[in-house]
Amino acid sequence: MKKYIISFISLVLFSATMAQNKEIAPEDLNGMRAIGSPANPKVRMSWDRYHDYAQITKFCNDLAKAYPNLVSVSSIGKSFEGRDIWALTITDTKTGKEKEKPAFYIDGGIHANELQGVEVSMYTAWYLAESFQTIPFINRLLKDKVFYILPTISPDSREHFIYKPNNSNTSRSGMRPFDNDGDGLVNEDLLDDLDGDGNIVMMRRKSKTGRWKIDPKYPSRMIMLRGDEMGDYEMLGYEGIDNDGDGLVNEDGEGTYDPNRDWAWNWQPDYVQRGALFYPGTLPETRAVKDFVVNHPNIAGAQSYHNYGGMFLRGPGAAEDEGLFSREDVAAYDVIGKLGERMIPGYNYFVLYKDLYTVYGGEIDFLCLTRGIFTFSNELMTSYKLFNQKAATGRWDNDEFNEFDKYLLFGDGYVEWKPFKHPQFGDIEIGGPKKNYIRNHPGFMLQEDAHRNMAFTLYHAYQTPKLEIVAIKTEKLSGDITAVTATIMNTRVIPTHSTFDVKNKIERPNAITLKGANVIAGMTVENEDLNLFTEQQFQPASIQVPTIRGMGNVKVRWLVKGNPNGATVEVNSAKGGVVTSKVSN
Amino acid sequence: MKLKLTLLVLLSVFLTHAQNDYLTYDNLTKKLKEIESKNSSVNLKSIGKSSGNKDIWLVTLSASKTPKPALLITAGIDGKHQAGTQIAVNLIEQLLQNKQLYSDKTIYIIPSVSPDAISSFFAKVKVEHSGNATPTDDDRDGKIGEDPFEDLNNDGWITQMRIESIDGTHIVSSEDSRLLVKANASKNQIGKYKLLSEGIDNDKDGKFNEDSSAGVNIDKNFTFDYPAFENGAGVYVASEPEVRALLDFLYTTPSIYGVVTFGLSNNLSEAPKFDSKLASTRIVKGWLENDIKAAEQVSKLYTEKAGIKDGPKTPMTKGNFAQTAYYHAGKFSFSTPGWWIPKEVVKKDSTETKVELPKKGEKEEVSPELQFLKWADKEQLKNVFVEWTAVKHPDFPNQKVEVGGIVPYAMLNPPVSYLEPVVAKHAVFIESLLAAMPKIETTPPLVEKVQNDLFRVTVTVANKGLLPTYASIGDKVRFTSRMKTELKLNKGQTMISGRKIALRDALQADESETHTWLVSGSGKITILTGCATAGVKELIVELK
């Protein structure tokens, strides 16, 4: 008999899978499917290239159209130049309510020259939607969680980077003009694309006193000389002219502020923190994101993609805030960060202020300290990826980018040096790395790194709290009083509230409520075996629990008059979601 | 007896009226519009909306449209200080009488930075609120406004409750039986009263009036030394529209030389002290040495020239505008409550102080409440104190509960008549501050003909004002108009030596510098020198 039951269950399960299969493209069921990737996605994308704003917009709308039960798109506000900042909300809308699920926030391209963060964000949205039917893990994840993905939060500047002359470091900021040098004039000395090729490269000039020479192995490269070797070139900086005749070249360009210094935690002015503006939130883009985050208290984890260097960065941005991260919270970060180092060879798990540099008023501090959200920021791309090894020398002493360019990119990475007649410098030559080389991935590497980083972030999202009511016990006491004891476990490593959150009451406490019973007393169970309880006299039906630790549990007990059978235990946590379970005895 | 009663009624009507002389928001708007319509030199505009969607008014006093070195006067930032707004409005009228003041300078006045707070001041039941209209979760429990205050004795004021109770920590003050003080066991005092704010425990959580959704106190929401997570500070720094509107205006108006705030802090009666450590850390937390010199100068104008004496020592508070204006916006920033309780009435009994000389560090100050009551008694002010009267209280069914205490707002906001002399004196101060501002003067350019077509031009630029061209902190921060000397050439002329544009740090009082250029080619040249806060001087010279 047992055997039959099992086969019956298998049959039911199998047909259920078959029914689901209608949603799966045939290519994903035969040998055309490369493991881990949708073989015939509803939204066709190439992940070996970069996308402009119109294409991002189209992608968001296409994905929402293709997966109406999973994806919706909304604008969280407008950029300085009036572009909508898109947010994709991705969750299985048929399972649970969006606001009652733990949420994971992802954004990309706050520094717009760092193109690939936007692509990784889009890839993640695409992968989640396209894999919902084929990969049970993703299916489960979208039932449990909601993803808020903002592919680009600096859309103006991205358009500028893609369509206007730039080097790999410009434009890091948005497009609001400011007077950078305090002379009362605004943007009066921009970079100049002397040869009109869309890339701002370097200027060099033959010189008897020069301290540079051409690398004989890779003519694209200039070598800075040390010791007593004589050189024959001097370097004159980025392509440009002294537009306003003040003796300085390119000293007041577009957007020399940093949107990632415009956030409301330990904000400092520009003289302390280069790139800061008037106050955190001077920019419409960061203000819109802040409003979005504050209005979505279910966000429990966050990722903000940057480049470059191959890092999983966590806060704090400044040494003085080190003490705000408790050992327990750091332990949760460690679980994720250390696994990341395994998942993405060449990437390192770092603490921002300690291992990179100090950042005041940065986005990740706003997320993790002002809002209590467990946050990583990945610095995408590292030179490790070129030859799958760590460079033996520092960036300016090694030639690996030139070597890689020669043998794998066939010279596509550099603008060849060519002569130019400069109005101020006379006969010069211009050449050097193209704007999309060095910091941004070459095409063929983009999808792989997008996938690896997404996988890291999905693991991070998976580890946001999952609350489970693991036991409800009833025990008859004297008279018609029954004790109901509920045990709630957080089966993931991230707590519902960080230690800092609990201390400052950033988010409301978790509420564990017995509904539908006549509760006459309520208490937290400190130690059941030793009979230690703390009574909560105020609203005893709804026990307030400041946090439920990662992999930790809490027990609460109610004394109920009458039979509690059929009553409901509800766990309601801003970041841990809402779960319920019925009492039965 | 009947006469007495009539007199009393009459008096109270008069007093109520006197208090009503404070401006409601509508009356403030009406008054400012009236001032604008009567004076061609006045311009009224809104710099933005408050959280409660009220315009934040900016009054500009200027004889012409061109931007000139300017002073910004702000008030009504912390909502409980409405006297500041009152002073600022009356100051406008006072300053308008002297046309000279705004002929070569501009005066900006924002009388109410947090206009939402005015409504609380005029509410039917008054609670001393500092905040704007933003709904706030004051006790951070996820619920908004779940336990507000209640006017238990129906007098229109939220005062205090005292409850005779075993867990009482307060006793009646020996100096004034209306006041309660904390019992001090070392002085053989044992607590008798529990002291709470007036109201009931609406949500029965054992805490009284812990969440009335009191709004964000704008003067805690600014960027310098922001008190994160403190009650009234907002969800995060600069979260409030009032803060952003004021800072946007300040940062985008480079001609603003300094700010004078009528607020709770006082750095005018006594200038900030120089602390080399605080002034030289990476994040500057003390006034710079040059700026201290200027602040001392300004303090002298305040106490001596304008004769404003005995100002209270009210320190700067975290996240306030006055400090943000200096440390972050790089402007001279002065602050004063404007009005305070005159000192003479509150000096301790002279014999007492002689007998008990206070030891260092434990100087016994007269509490502000006691000062206030003594002064109010002397001035025979009514409606400043509610006598303790018993009420029935649902949360203390078997205990004696009395409601009473100092009326909300009373201590910081005297009847309007007391502000008149304050306005007159502060007008003198503002006038003398305007007069002390920097003056850019130059020598006539010296032109030497080096050879045929080659000229050497030399000019000396000096600041002949009593104050520097701008605060030295302005040279540190980014968004200030720096001291600039520019030479503009005409067609056919080239510069052989010298800087076309020379930027430098602030010119201190009576400091000068000499510029020299070698120019090839005859004809006119133009020299521009100065900065937005000191004015720019233009010199045109013929090279021949």
Interface test with B, best of A278, A499, A508 (most B CBs within 10 A): A278
Higher-confidence position of B246 and B356: B246
What is the mean predicted confidence (pLDDT) over B447-465?
A: 96
Q: Determine the average pLDDT of the residues in A159-170.
A: 91
Who contacts B511 (Cβ-Cβ below 8 Å, separation ≥6)?
B462, B463, B468
Interchain pair A271, B229: CB under 8 A: no
Q: Per-residue DSSP letters for B183-217? A: --GGGT----EEEEESS--TT-SS-SS-B------
* Inter-residue contact B51 to B116 (CB < 8 Å): yes
Confidence (pLDDT) at A330:
98
DSSP A193-236: -TT-SSB--EEEEE-TT--EEE-SS-TT-EEE--TT----EEEE
Residue A144: CATH number of its domain: 3.40.630.10
Question: Does the residue A221 lie in any domain?
Answer: no
Nearest to A280 among B204, B238, B248 (CB): B238
A456 with A519, same domain?
no
Tokens found for residue A412: 């596509």
Q: pLDDT digits over A204-247, tens only?
A: 999 999 999 999 999 999 999 989 999 999 999 999 998 877 77
C-alpha to C-alpha distance for A346 and A119, rounded to whole angstroms: 20
Predicted local distance difference test score (pLDDT) of residue B461: 98
Using an 8 Å CB-CB cutoff, list chain B residues near A294: 235-236
pLDDT tens-digit readout, A336-385: 999 999 999 999 999 999 999 999 999 999 999 999 999 999 999 999 99
List CB contacts (< 8 A) between B256 and chain A: none
SS3 A110: coil
Q: Which of B501, B503, B504, B505 to mutate to test the interface with A (most CBs of A within 10 A)?
A: B501
CATH code for position A533: 2.60.40
Residues A106 and A130 reside in one and the same domain: yes
pLDDT of residue A172: 83
Q: pTM for this one?
A: 0.93
The yes-or-no verdict on residue A498 having pLDDT over 50 is: yes
- Would you state the torsion angle of the CA atoms of residues A234, A235, A236, A240, taken in this order, to the nearest 10 degrees? 130
The residues facing A72 across adjacent strands are: A89
> A393-397, B318-322, B518-522 — which is least confidently predicted?
A393-397
pLDDT in tens, B315-351: 999 999 999 999 999 999 999 999 999 876 555 444 4
Residues A135, A277, single domain; the answer is: yes
Q: Are residues A314 and A376 in the same domain?
A: yes
**pLDDT value at residue A391:** 84
* Residues A457 and A514 reside in one and the same domain: no
User: Nearest to residue B367, comparing CAs of B93, B173, B209?
Assistant: B173
Q: What is the CA radius of gyration of chain A?
A: 28
> So what's the pLDDT on residue B20?
52
Q: Which residues contact B161 (CB under 8 A, 6 or more apart)?
A: B152, B195, B196, B197, B198, B199, B391, B393, B401, B402, B403
Q: If you ran DSSP here, which 8-state letter would residue B271 be given?
A: P
- In this structure, is residue A368 part of a structural domain? yes
Span B502-520, average pLDDT: 96
User: What integer pLDDT is reported at residue A15 of this predicted model?
Assistant: 47
Is residue A379 annotated as a catalytic residue, yes or no? yes
User: What is the average pLDDT score of chain B?
Assistant: 92
Look at residue A143 and tell me whether its pLDDT is greater than 70: yes
How many cross-chain Cβ pairs, A to B, lie less than 8 Å apart?
A: 106
User: What's the gap between Cα B85 and its chain centre?
Assistant: 10
Q: Residue A10 pLDDT more than 90?
A: no
DSSP B122-159: T-SSB------SS---TT-SS-SSSB----TT-SSB--
Domains of chain B: 26-121+216-339+414-436 (3.40.630.10), 160-213+363-406 (no CATH), 440-543 (2.60.40.10)
Which residue, A462, A491, A510, sits at the end of a domain?
Answer: A462
The pLDDT value recorded for residue B358 is 42
* Range A306-316 average pLDDT: 96
Q: Which of A114, A130, A379, A507 is catalytic?
A: A379
Taking each helix axis from N to C end, the angle separating B289-300 and B419-436, rounded to the nearest 10 degrees, works out to 130
ipTM of predicted assembly, 2 dp: 0.92
Cβ–Cβ < 8 Å for A431, A418: yes
Residue labelled with tokens 């046309």: B99
Chain B partners of A184 at a C-beta cutoff of 8 Å?
Answer: 254, 481, 484, 532
Q: Is the pLDDT of residue B15 over 50?
A: no
CB distance B500–A246 less than 8 Å? yes
Q: Does A456 share its domain with A520? A: no
Q: What is the pLDDT of residue A182?
A: 66
The residues on B that touch A, with CB distances below 8 Å, are 139-143, 203-206, 222-223, 226, 228-229, 235-239, 243-244, 247-248, 251, 254, 282-283, 327-329, 476-482, 484, 499-501, 503, 532
Residue A190's pLDDT band, with cuts at 50, 70 and 90, is: confident
B82-96 vs B419-436: helix crossing angle, rounded to 10: 60
- Contact between chains at B479 and A183 (C-beta distance less than 8 A): no
CA distances, A74 to each of A56, A61, A70, A145, A292 (Å): 13, 9, 14, 18, 11
Q: Which of A411, A433, A462 is the last residue of a domain?
A: A462
The predicted pLDDT at position A21 comes to 64
Cβ(A121)–Cβ(A305) below 8 Å: yes
Pairing state between β A146-150 and B55-61: unpaired
Q: What is the spatial distance between Cα A269 and Cα A262, in angstroms, rounded to a whole number?
A: 10
pLDDT band at B381 (very low <50, low <70, confident <90, very high): very high
According to DSSP, the β-strands at B70-75 and B106-110 are parallel
Roughly how many angstroms between the first and final C-alpha of chain A, as a whole number? Answer: 29
Chain A positions contacting chain B at CB under 8 Å are 178-184, 244-247, 264-265, 267-272, 276, 278-282, 290, 294, 366, 370, 504-509, 537-539, 574
Let me know if residue A373 belongs to a domain: yes
Token readout for A375 is: 């946050």
Using DSSP, state whether B109 is helix, strand or coil: strand
Residue B328, token pair as written in the block: 């972050």
Q: Print burial letters for B285-312: b (CB count within 10 Å at least 16), e (below 16).
A: ebbbebbbbbbebbbebbbebbebeebe
How many other C-beta atoms are found inside a 10 Å radius of the C-beta of residue A537?
11
Q: Is the pLDDT of residue A4 over 60?
A: no
For residue range A254-269, list pLDDT tens digits in order. 667 999 999 999 999 9
Among A217-221, A551-555, B239-243, the range scoring the smallest mean pLDDT is A217-221
- List, as one string, the DSSP characters of B441-456: EEPPPEEEEEETTEEE
Yes or no: say if A53 and A122 are a contact pair by the CB < 8 Å rule.
no
pLDDT of residue B273: 96
Which H or E run includes A9? Answer: helix A2-21
* Least confident piece of the model among A178-187, B177-186, B356-365, B383-392: B356-365
- For a pLDDT cut of 70, what percent of chain B falls above it? 92
- Nearest CA to A38 out of A443, A461, A459, A447 is that of A447
Mean pLDDT on A539-543: 96
* Closest by CA position to B56, among listed B64, B47, B66: B47
Contact flag B236-A539 (C-beta cutoff 8 Å): no
φ/ψ of residue A398, rounded to 5 = -105, 160
Give the Å distances, CA to CA, from B145 to A124, A583, B124, B135, B198. Answer: 40, 33, 18, 8, 16
Residues of B in Cβ contact (< 8 Å) with A282: 248
Q: Do A264 and B238 touch (CB under 8 A)?
A: yes
Rounded Cα gap, residues A490 and B408, in angstroms: 48
Taking residues B360-388, report their average pLDDT: 86
pLDDT value, residue A55: 98
For the segment A97-119, the average pLDDT, to the nearest whole number, is 97
Region B26-48 average pLDDT: 97
Three-state SS for A266-307 is CCCCCCCCCCCCCCCCCCHHHHHHHHHHHCCCCEEEEEEEEE
> In a mutagenesis test of the A interface, which of B470, B478, B481, B501 is the best target, namely the one with the most A β-carbons within 10 Å?
B478
Question: Residues B45-54: what's their mean pLDDT?
Answer: 98
Contact between residue A171 and residue B469 where contact means Cβ atoms under 8 Å apart: no
Does A5 score more than 80 pLDDT?
A: no
> Do residues A455 and A564 both lie within one domain?
no
Give the range of the structural domain holding residue A302, as residue numbers without chain letter: 41-159+259-381+442-462
Of the pLDDT bands very low, low, confident and very high (cuts 50, 70, 90), residue A522 is very high
Number of other residues whose CB lies within 10 A of the CB of residue B196: 18
Q: pLDDT tens digit string along A34-65?
A: 999 999 999 999 999 999 999 999 999 999 99
Q: How far is CA A56 from CA A113, A122, A152, B191, B463, in A?
A: 16, 8, 9, 69, 56
pLDDT value for A187: 76
The verdict on A366 and A491 lying in the same domain is no
Residues of chain B neighbouring A509 (CB-CB closer than 8 A): 141-142
Q: Check residue A3 and give its pLDDT.
A: 56
pLDDT more than 90, % of chain B: 87
A455 and A555 share one domain: no
- On whether both A134 and A263 belong to a single domain, the answer is yes
Average pLDDT score over residue span A99-108 = 98
Report d(CA A275, CA B298) in Å as an integer: 33
Percent of chain A with pLDDT over 70: 95
- Residue at A400 is within a domain: no
Testing the interface with B: which of A242, A279, A510, A575 to mutate, by most B Cβ within 10 A? Answer: A279
pLDDT at position B350, please? 44
More confident of the two residues B362 and B100: B100
- Look at residue A492 and tell me if it is in a domain: yes
What is the C-alpha separation between B358 and B273, in angstroms, rounded?
Answer: 24
Asked whether residue A1 carries a pLDDT value surpassing 80, the answer given is no
Cα four-point dihedral sign A7, A13, A17, A20: positive
Residue scoring higher pLDDT (A13 or B248): B248
Q: Mark yes or no for CB contact B478/A279 under 8 Å.
A: no
CA distance B383 to B406: 9
b or e along B237-266 (b: 16 or more beta carbons within 10 Å of the residue's beta carbon)? bbbbbbbbbbbebbbebbbbbbbbbbbbbb
A90 lies in the same domain as A144: yes
pLDDT band of residue B9 (cuts 50, 70, 90) is very low
Within-domain flag for A23: no
Question: Strands A510-515 and A542-545, how do they pair?
Answer: antiparallel
Are the C-beta atoms of residues A359 and A273 closer than 8 Å to each other?
A: yes
Q: What b/e readout covers B98-136, taking b as 16+ CB neighbours within 10 angstroms? A: eeebbeebbbbbbbbbbbbbbbbbbeebbbbbbbbbbeb
- With contact defined as beta carbons under 8 Å apart, do A400 and A327 qualify? no
Task: Indicate whether A454 and A504 sit together in one domain.
Answer: no
Contact criterion met (CB < 8 Å) for A279 and B532: no
Compute the distance between CA of residue B339 and CA of residue B424 in angstroms, rounded to an integer: 12
How many residues are present in chain B? 544
Position B354 pLDDT exceeds 90: no
* pLDDT tens digit sequence for B260-279: 999 999 999 999 999 999 99
- Environment class of B274 (CB within 10 Å of its CB; exposed 0-12, middle 13-18, buried 19+): middle
Q: Is the pLDDT of residue A185 over 90?
A: no
Domain count, chain A: 2
Domain final position from A430, A462, A494: A462
CB contacts of A279 in chain B (<8 Å) are 222-223, 237-238, 243-244, 247, 328
Q: Is the pLDDT of residue A560 over 90?
A: yes
Is the pLDDT reported for residue A585 higher than 80? no
